[in-house]
Amino acid sequence: MYVDATFDYKSYYAPHIDKKLGGYGYSSEEVGYHWLRHDESRQHSDTGIAFKKYQSDTFVDLALQRKDVPAEQRPPPTTAFVPHPLFIENGWEKVTILTSTPTGRPDVAPLDEEFDYGKLTNDIEETLSELGQEYAPRMAEWREWIDARPKTQADLASHSSLPSWGDWPRRPVEGASTVGAGPAEIARSIVLASSVTMRAPRRITSSVGDGSEGAAASKANKADDESCRGPEVRQRTNRVTTSDRV
C-alpha cells in the first residue's frame, strides 16, 4: 500500500497532552510498558486510560544477575548470585494522556522537500531500461500512476482521509494446563522452589500519579549497584573463570 501523505498528529495533539505524562517508555535502566488500554467501561481505570507493564498478570522470567531483582531481594554483595525463576506481578496503572479533547481533524503533514517525482521517474526509467519490448508498456503504467499522485499541499489536503480500523484479533485466553507427577513435574517443583516473586513498581507519571514508587525502587537499586563496585565484589560477582559453567 502506498501512502501519499500523513496527517500531522503531533501538532494536532500537542496542546492537549498531559504535560506530566512520563515513565512508560524504555530507558537504559528500565523496561517500558507493553499495553495501553482505552478503558471505556472504566473497569480498570476511572480515567478511561490505563497502562500495564506486561500482558499477563504474572510475567514469568529468569533472573540471571543481581540487577534483575529488586534491591531488597538481592543477596549480599559478597555472595555469588544464583540464577532462578522470577515472577513479576503487575496490574493496571491509571493515567491521563489528554487533559482536553481536540476537535476537527489534523492537517496534512508538510511535504518532504527533498522528494521529487521527477527523480523517481528517472530512477524507474533506468531500472526498466533493460526490459526490451516490455519497457514501453511497463513505463506507461508507471507514468499513469505517478500522474495520479497528489503533488502539492493543497492536493494532499483535498485527497486525504482518516484511517478506518477493522476488528483487530485479540490474543486468545490460555486455559489451565495439567502437568503429570512424573520426573518432569519433580524437576519443575525443584526449580520453582528457588523462584522469586516481585511486584512491578508503578513508574508512570501523569495528573493522577507521581511515579514515586518507581523512583524509590530505582534509587534503591542504584544504591545496591554502587555497593557492588568494589574490586573484591566485582571479582566475586562478575568474573568468569575456566571452571565456570555458563
Check residue 206 and give its pLDDT: 93
Is residue 94 domain-shared with residue 13, that is, in the same domain? yes
How far apart are the C-alpha atoms of 49 and 33, rounded to whole Å?
13
pLDDT at 7 over 70: yes
How far apart are the C-alpha atoms of 28 and 217, rounded to whole Å?
15
Is residue 194 domain-shared with residue 90, that is, in the same domain? yes
Q: In which band, very low, low, confident or very high, does the pLDDT at 20 lie, cut at 50, 70 and 90?
A: very high
Is residue 26 domain-shared with residue 77, that is, in the same domain? yes
pLDDT at 176 over 80: no
Q: Residue range 56-71: average pLDDT?
A: 89
Candidate from 64-78, 106-120, 216-230 with smallest mean pLDDT: 216-230
Q: Residue range 133-142: average pLDDT?
A: 90
Q: Is 2 inside a domain boundary? A: no
Check residue 221 and give its pLDDT: 87
pLDDT at 83 over 50: yes
The pLDDT mean for the chain works out to: 82
Is residue 19 domain-shared with residue 81, that is, in the same domain? yes
pLDDT at 179 over 60: no
Check residue 143 and give its pLDDT: 93
- β-pairing, 205-206 vs 84-89, is unpaired
Is residue 83 domain-shared with residue 121, that is, in the same domain? no
Half-sphere CA count of 15, side-chain side, radius 13 A:
6
Number of domains in the chain: 2
The C-alpha angle with vertex 82 and arms to 29 and 220, in degrees rounded to 5, equals 35
Q: In which band, very low, low, confident or very high, does the pLDDT at 17 lie, cut at 50, 70 and 90?
A: very high
Check residue 2 and give its pLDDT: 78
Check residue 195 and give its pLDDT: 82
Choose between 165 and 76: higher pLDDT.
76
Q: Is 170 inside a domain boundary? A: no
Q: What percent of the chain has pLDDT over 90?
A: 30
Bridge partners of 214, per DSSP, are: none
User: CA nearest 115: which of 85, 152, 78, 81?
Assistant: 152
Q: What percent of the chain has pLDDT over 70?
A: 80
pLDDT at 67 over 50: yes
Is residue 84 domain-shared with residue 200, that is, in the same domain? yes
Check residue 140 and give its pLDDT: 93
Is residue 212 domain-shared with residue 130, that is, in the same domain? no
Q: In which band, very low, low, confident or very high, does the pLDDT at 152 lie, cut at 50, 70 and 90?
A: confident
| Domain range for 139 | 117-151
User: Which amino acid appears at position 32 of this protein?
Assistant: G
User: CA nearest 146: which of 117, 179, 169?
Assistant: 117
Choose between 39 and 94: higher pLDDT.
94
Q: Is 160 inside a domain boundary? A: no
pLDDT at 204 over 80: yes
How far apart are the C-alpha atoms of 147 and 85, rounded to whole Å?
60
pLDDT at 244 over 60: no
